[in-house]
Amino acid sequence: MSLGLIGRKIGMTRIFTENGDSLPVTVIDVSNNRVTQIKKTDKDGYSAVQLCFGEKRASRVNKSSAGHFAKAGVEAGCILREFRVNKDEDLYQLQDGMVINNDIFAVGQKVDISGITIGKGYAGVIKRHHFSSNRASHGNSKAHNKPGSIGMAQDPGRIFPGKRMSGHLGNVKRTTQNLEVIRIDTERSLLLVKGAIPGARNGNVIVRPSIKEKK
């Protein structure tokens, strides 16, 4: 089963090993992951588990979503995600309204974490694509941080698609792979993962078992 969890990035800290080594870790809150729907091959064409996380005010829940949550018998949440599983047999121990705990992961396990990166707004090519600056002097008066030539005039007479230029930086979905689970706090439903993960504090993240685990 490749079941994962939805979580909230709390922030970063560090912990010490028995040898006294300092490890940077990210703390993720994965509490109250509720099962809202179980999809099976004979009815839906594929096997999956739909989980709900967080809270949402009743006035912000539309009628279709309210009916969906009520059918599962769970509190309305702010985010819904599906996790595909290999076969229907993996779903037999699950049922609507069930809470999935963080004990589905193990210490030392490698996980992939997806989130929305921090938005940086409109940025130039130096910050966005790591271009080098032009000369500071010797004839250069206004083009210190310009991108330079973006194409030829008559042939081809256009800018090729994918040309790296200035534009919006950040606020996109990114996945960091092969992060190690350092500690699991079952009482507070926390995961401590080695290293940094995408997104700002209090941002929603998806934690899945790694698909390219390095031996």
Helix/strand/coil percent split, the chain, to 5: 15, 35, 50
Q: Model confidence at 15, in pLDDT bands (50, 70, 90)? A: very high
Mean pLDDT, the chain, integer: 93
Q: Provide the domain limits for residue 41.
A: 5-119+173-209
Residues 89 and 187 in one domain: yes
pTM of the model: 0.88
Q: What is the pLDDT of residues 64-77, one digit of tens each?
A: 999 999 999 999 99
Q: What is the pLDDT of residues 100-133, one digit of tens each?
A: 999 999 999 999 999 999 999 999 999 999 999 9
Q: Model confidence at 1, in pLDDT bands (50, 70, 90)? A: low
pLDDT at 12: 96
127: enclosing H helix or E strand? helix 125-129
Residues 141 and 188 in one domain: no
Mapped onto helix, strand or coil, the DSSP state of residue 198 is coil
**CB within 8 A of 45, min separation 6: which ones?**
none
Residues 115 and 125 in one domain: no
pLDDT at 87: 75
Residues 66 and 11 in one domain: yes
**CB within 8 A of 158, min separation 6: which ones?**
151
* Domain-embedded: residue 192: yes
Residues 83 and 129 in one domain: no
Residues 55 and 65 in one domain: yes
Q: What is the pLDDT of residues 37-71, one digit of tens each?
A: 999 888 888 889 999 999 999 999 999 999 999 99
